[in-house]
Structure 1
Amino acid sequence: MIMFWSTTRTYKLNEARNKWHSGWWSLKIVLWVVTILFPFLLPHEIIQIYGHVSHFGAGVFLLVQLISMIRFIAWINDLCGKYGGRCQIHVMIVALIAYCVCLVGIILMYLWYAPQPYCLLNLFFITGTLILLQIMTSVSLHSKVNAGILSPGLMGLYTVYLCWSAMRRQDYQSLPILWNFYQYS
């Protein structure tokens, strides 16, 4: 954050803030080491407060990442549209691969993270991801939008990745509980 706020709106190469941005490496390395070691000196209560605040930061990060991903996919789609017929076979292959990976990922999530019918939360999110993929494809292929299948295919990859990451995180959080159960039984 220090680097971000201190170099925002730096336009000229000879400006003092640009020298800070592209130089002064010894000071930046010292600041980096201090920021790495500083949290170990903080009391436990402050770390817990930071943990709660970081949930908000994670949501903001996901929102920024989503916007960046949408802009990137739109840029690829525009680039392929500019080249017309020469790029169509490549778009079809990439979209087909994207949809296949999405479907394989969703099937594997059903098998690994929702093997029992009582895994309702996992079933809800995996099914929601599948429905979202279908909605994105339907909207993209609608005659008024006519965006093709590349955009929803690539965005589907991202949503399947997010769902998979959430399932993995939840799976890792339950491991200590399972270990304690097996240890004492």
Structure 2
Amino acid sequence: MLATAGTFLGTAASYCCCMACRCAQKNIFARSARAGYCVLFTLAMVLAWVMRNYAKPLIEKIPWVMSHAAADDSKWFGQQGAYRISLGSFIFFALLSLIMTNIKYKSDWRNKYLQHGGWGIKFALWLLFLIIPFFIPGGLEWYGWVARFGSGLFLIVQMMILLDATGLLNDLWFSKSEENPKYMYLLLGVTAGCYIGTVAMAAVGFWIFKPSGGGSCTLNILLIVWSLLLTVGFSLMSVHPGATNGSLFPASVMSAYCMYLCLAALESEPRGECNGLENKAESASAMFFAMMLTLGAVIYSAFRAGSNTSTFFTTSEDGDEPTEKPLLEGAEAGTSAGLDGEDAKAPEIQKASRDDKEGRAMDEFTPVTYSYSFFHAVFALASMYMAMLMTSWGTGDGSALIDVSWASVWVKMGSQVVTALLYCWTLVAPIVFPDRDFS
């Protein structure tokens, strides 16, 4: 009786799962392909984390990998597991990026059948690409070096997106303030809030990473003071008469972001007397929550960077009409909301127009709302960044914690320096090249 009931429940559960997947494909993934790819990337990150901590029993059974194994080193096994999942995810998204090259209009068959359709086949290929790297003999230390380079590109893309967003937002609010003074108050309020937040983060940094009785902690103090000096430098440069593109709003946002990178770097320090987090117990639930926050931040960054391609692509290859929407028009165009350019307010009208011959004819000249190839390229780079997070940038020093090592510290501080240089260049470039248009 119990066996029969168990079989019935198992069959019912399988049927429900299948129906849920079919419903998701028809109602969610068909309208927002990016949601589907984010799900696949999320699953890959979770699998990489699982392999990072529990890969040893599996890899020990693979003789062509064990021939190059370090002597019973659990960290090595975890590193190899994370590398192979990351490599599989990279191959999957890199292949999609190549296939989706030069899609400019919605009438392209790849838009319907590859980007927005065929999810069953794509899921099977995704699984296949995750499995294939486990058949590669020996260690994958070479992939670790490649992933370091790809991760650096991923971080640079994020910085450029942030710089572009702050500049566009500043121009948008300032132009609207001429008609509505509320936008000027909003601009001033956010600017003040960012400066207050920067000082508050610095205070928290001194409190946590220069604990009483923890010694001099010279390095931590130096990094925090350096970040505060960047804030002063950004502000002075932005109000200089020669900085025609200068404004305190972008300066405040970049100051807050650089201070955040400083705190993130200090948090990645291996636990010691100068890291106040050493005294806080790392419970299983707290570690899981921290892991989910880290993974969520990476997924969101990849999604936004891949969708907002206006920073890198402004016109079609023919140069006659734009194929990308401005970053701040995502709410209307769907470039960052997740509907891939469909109007969420009138789905019935859209369905009727798609069924109508005239509507199909118009689709032949309707540009896609974001670059599919660039979107997948960003997720391919994010897959490499995933490997670096899981292995503490290839050092294997993170033990049970994600992204904790001295390599992580200096990568984040390096990102801060690059961000500062990029922002300073936006202020200096119009002075150095007065004949060029930087608007």
- TM bin, normalised by shorter chain, reads 0.7 to 0.9
Q: From 237, 245, 250, give the equivalent of 1:139.
A: 237
Q: How far off its partner does 1:164 sit?
A: 1.9
Compared CA separation, residues 163 and 31, structure 1 to 2 (3 A): farther
Q: Distance in 1 between matches of 2:227 and 2:165?
A: 21
The aligned residue for residue 151 of structure 1 is 250
- Provide Cα deviations, 1:86-111, integer angstroms capped at 9, x if missing partner: 21111111111111111111121122
**1:56-135 equivalent positions in 2, closer than 5 A:** 56-85=149-178, 86=181, 87-115=183-211, 116=214, 118-135=216-233
Q: Distance in 1 between matches of 2:226 and 2:149?
A: 23
Larger Rg: 2
Q: How far off its partner does 1:25 sit?
A: 0.8
| Percent identity of paired positions between Structure 1 and Structure 2 | 23
Compared CA separation, residues 90 and 44, structure 1 to 2 (3 A): farther
Q: How far off its partner does 1:42 sit?
A: 4.8
Compared CA separation, residues 4 and 41, structure 1 to 2 (3 A): same
Compared CA separation, residues 141 and 171, structure 1 to 2 (3 A): farther
Q: Is the 8 Å Cα contact of residues 166 and 253 (structure 2) preserved in structure 1?
A: yes
Q: How far off its partner does 1:72 sit?
A: 0.3
Between 1:99-108 and 1:11-20, the stretch displaced more is 11-20
Q: Distance in 2 between matches of 1:30 and 1:175?
A: 32
Q: How far off its partner does 1:39 sit?
A: 4.7
Instruction: Structure 2: give runs of 5+ residues left out of the alignment.
Output: 1-93, 272-391, 400-439
The structure, 1 or 2, with the larger RCO (C-alpha pairs under 8 Å, 6+ apart) is 2
Compared CA separation, residues 128 and 74, structure 1 to 2 (3 A): same
The aligned residue for residue 5 of structure 1 is 98
Q: Distance in 2 between matches of 1:175 and 1:10?
A: 41
The aligned residue for residue 54 of structure 1 is 147
The aligned residue for residue 124 of structure 2 is 30
Compared CA separation, residues 88 and 65, structure 1 to 2 (3 A): same
Compared CA separation, residues 81 and 163, structure 1 to 2 (3 A): same
Letter in 2 for 1:64: V
Q: How far off its partner does 1:118 sit?
A: 4.1
Structure 2 residue 258 is matched with structure 1 residue 162: no
Q: Distance in 2 between matches of 1:31 and 1:155?
A: 40
Between 1:149-158 and 1:118-127, the stretch displaced more is 118-127
Q: Distance in 1 between matches of 2:107 and 2:135?
A: 38
Between 1:165-174 and 1:127-136, the stretch displaced more is 165-174
TM-score, with structure 2 as normaliser: 0.37
Instruction: Structure 1: give runs of 5+ residues left out of the alignment.
Output: 177-185
Q: Distance in 2 between matches of 1:31 and 1:154?
A: 41
- Provide Cα deviations, 1:114-134, integer angstroms capped at 9, x if missing partner: 344543333332222111111
- Provide Cα deviations, 1:20-68, integer angstroms capped at 9, x if missing partner: 112111122122233444455555621x332232222221111111111
Letter in 2 for 1:6: I
- Provide Cα deviations, 1:135-180, integer angstroms capped at 9, x if missing partner: 111111222226332111111222122222222222467875xxxx
Moved over 4 A (4+): 37-44, 172-176
Q: Report the 3-state secondary structure (helix = DSSP H, G, I; strand = E; otherwise coil) of the residue aligned with 1:170.
A: coil
